[in-house]
A and B are shown apart, each in its own frame.
Chain A
C-alpha cells in the first residue's frame, strides 16, 4: 500500500491525472478568492446590482414551489387550498423572476456590461432569458384551465408554422409537463450557473470611462482600498 504525498494547495502544481488537470484549470480560472470574494470594486454600489441576485433567488423560490406542485400533480391546485397556495407562490415567484430579470438585463445593457471580454457573459444572459421564456410558456400550457386551453390552441399555430409542432406538441399535456419540470428548468439552471461563473471569472465590469488607477495614482488606490476594508 503506497502513501501519496499531500496534494498541493491552489493551482501551483503539475497535474499527473485528468482529475488533477481539471482541478488546476478550475483553480487557475476561478480561485476561491474570485469565486467567493470578500471585496468588490468600489463602483459596485448601486441598487441595479441587486437585480441579478434577486433574479436568482426568485428562480430558487420558483423551483422550490414547482417541486412541491409536482408532488401534488397539475390538477392539485384546482381542488386543494394548499395546492392553490403553492400554485400562487409559484405564479408570483415567476412574475418577480421575470421582472427582476428584465430590469437586470436592461441595466446591463445601459452599463454596456459586455466590455472587457465579457461578451459571453452577455450572451449567456440572453440565452437564460430565452430559456426562461420557454419554461414560463410550458408552465402556462399545463395549468389545465382556460388559459392553458387558449394558449396551447394559439401557440400550436406558431410551433407548426416553424416546423417543430410535430415533435414539440403544445396540445399534449403529458409532453408539456415533462418539458416544464425536467429538461427546460435544468437547462435554465445550467445556463444561469454558467452566467454566474463567468461573472465571477471576469469580475464586475468597470464603469464606462473608468479611471486607470494604476496609471494615475496606484498608491492612492491602495490606500483607499485599505481604508474601505478596515
Chain B
C-alpha cells in the first residue's frame, strides 16, 4: 500500500461512520454482562474456592530441617549467607548490572540488615536462655568484630566441609577447632526456633506494631527450606514459576510474557559457564526487565511500527470478525 493510499484510508477510518447502523443498547449489554459474570464468579467460587497454602514458619523449618536451619544461622554469623552478601538495599555491595549500569546501587542501603545481630543475636537476647547460650552471647559480645568473623567463618567452613554425597551436612562431624561461642549460639537459636519463640521474636522485632516482613522473609529464603518447597510445587522461575501458584490453580497466566524469558538457556547457564551466558544468567533479572521495557514500548507504539501494524492485514483473522459485513458489502479495493 502506497503512503498516499494509506493516508487516504486512515482519513476514511477516522471519519464518523456513515454506513449502515444497527440498534444497540450499551447499558443493557453492561447489565447482562454484569449478571453473567457475577453468576459465573459465584459458581466458580462455590465449586473451587481459592488457593491458601499456609505460610511457612521458622518452627516448621527448624523442626523439619534442623541442620539446614542451624547451618543457615551459622552463615548469618559468618556473613556468608545470601542476605549478608546481597548488596543494596540491605547492605553494601553491587548487585546485578546491565552493562555499566548497576541500578540496585542507586537507591543506597535503605533497609539495613546486619545478619548476625538481626537474625541470631537479637532474637536470642530477647528471652532468657540456658546458661551455655547466655555465656555464648556474653563471649560473642565481648569479642572484637574480627574475632567474631574468624570464629564464625572458620566454623562455617568446617561445617560445609562435612557435606556428604547428597549435600547433607553433619554437625557431629565438624573438625575440632577454635570456633568460640558460635556452635552454642547456633544450637541455642535452633532450639529457640523449634520452640516457636523465634517466630515471635522475628515477626515482632521488639515492637508492638510491625507490618514489615523484610527481615524474616530474607532469612526464610536463605536456607533451603522454602526453596525446596517451591521446587516441589514447580514455582521456580525456570519452571514457569512466575505464572504458577501452589496447588492446581490457574496462577498468573497474564505474566506469560515475563515468565517465558526465564526459560531460555541464555538465562539458565550452568555454574561452569563463562562469557556472555554467565553474565546474562548472573544478571538475569535486570536484563529481562530491560527486554520487557523494550517490548512494552514496542507494544505501545505498535500502530506506528511497520510490519507489526501490518500483520493484521497480512494474516486475515479479521475476516472472521467482520465476515457478515464483507459478505454483504464486499471490500474496498486497495
Contacts and interface: CB of A to CB of B under 8 A. Distances in A.
B290 to A, nearest CB: 8
Contacts of A172: 211-214
A40 B22 contact: yes
Contacts of B220: 149, 153
B38 A61 contact: yes
A85 B48 CA distance: 10
Which of the listed residues A45, A99, A129 has the most CB atoms from chain B within 10 Å of its own CB? A45
Given A53-B30, A149-B56, A206 B17 contact: yes
Contacts of A127: 300
A84 B21 contact: no
Nearest to B235: A150
Interface stretch (B129-137, B156-164, B246-254): B246-254
B165 interface: no
A185 to B, nearest CB: 16
B18 interface: yes
A41 B22 contact: yes
A110 B56 contact: no
A10 interface: no
B4 interface: no
Interface in B1-35: 9-10, 12-27, 29-30, 33-34
Contacts of B96: 161
A11 interface: no
A227 to B, nearest CB: 8
Contacts of A45: 22, 324-325
Interface in A24-73: 36-46, 48, 50, 53-54, 56-58, 60-61
A77 interface: yes
Nearest to A65: B41
B104 A163 contact: yes
Contacts of A110: 312, 315, 317-318, 321
A100 to B, nearest CB: 8
Interface string B305-319: 000010011010110
Interface in B209-255: 211-214, 217-218, 220-221, 226, 229-230, 235, 237, 241-242, 245-246, 250, 252-255
Contacts of B21: 39-42, 225, 228-229
Given A112-B313, A146-B56, A171 B41 contact: no
Contacts of B242: 154
Interface string A204-225: 1111111111100010010011
A109 B24 contact: no
Interface stretch (A1-9, A12-20, A88-96, A187-195): A88-96
Interface in B287-334: 288-289, 296, 299-304, 309, 312-313, 315, 317-318, 320-322, 324-326, 329-332, 334
B285 A161 contact: yes
B95 A221 contact: no
B286 interface: yes
Nearest to B44: A92
A164 B40 CA distance: 38
A125 B301 CA distance: 12
Contact of A84 (B49, B285, B309): B49
Nearest to A48: B321
Contacts of B128: none
A111 B217 contact: no
A174 B212 contact: yes
A39 B29 CA distance: 13
Which of the listed residues A46, A50, A149, A173 has the most CB atoms from chain B within 10 Å of its own CB? A149
B27 A211 contact: no
B302 A133 contact: no
B123 interface: no
Contacts of B141: none
B289 A161 contact: yes
B88 interface: yes
Contacts of A203: 16-17
B294 to A, nearest CB: 13
Contacts of B273: none
Nearest to B9: A115
A177 B329 CA distance: 53
A218 B19 CA distance: 8
Contact of A158 (B108, B253, B289): B289
26 contacts: A37-B24, A40-B22, A41-B21, A44-B22, A46-B320, A61-B38, A88-B48, A89-B45, A96-B40, A111-B318, A112-B318, A123-B301, A130-B296, A136-B252, A146-B56, A149-B226, A150-B246, A163-B104, A164-B107, A167-B110, A172-B214, A173-B211, A175-B212, A213-B329, A214-B18, A228-B20
Interface of A: 36-46, 48, 50, 53-54, 56-58, 60-61, 77-78, 84-85, 87-93, 95-96, 98-99, 101-102, 107, 109-112, 114-119, 122-123, 126-127, 129-130, 132-133, 136-137, 140, 143-150, 152-154, 156-158, 160-167, 169, 171-175, 177, 202-214, 218, 221, 224-225, 228-229
A-B pairs with the 9 shortest C-beta distances? A116-B13, A166-B107, A174-B211, A163-B103, A88-B45, A114-B303, A213-B19, A116-B14, A161-B285
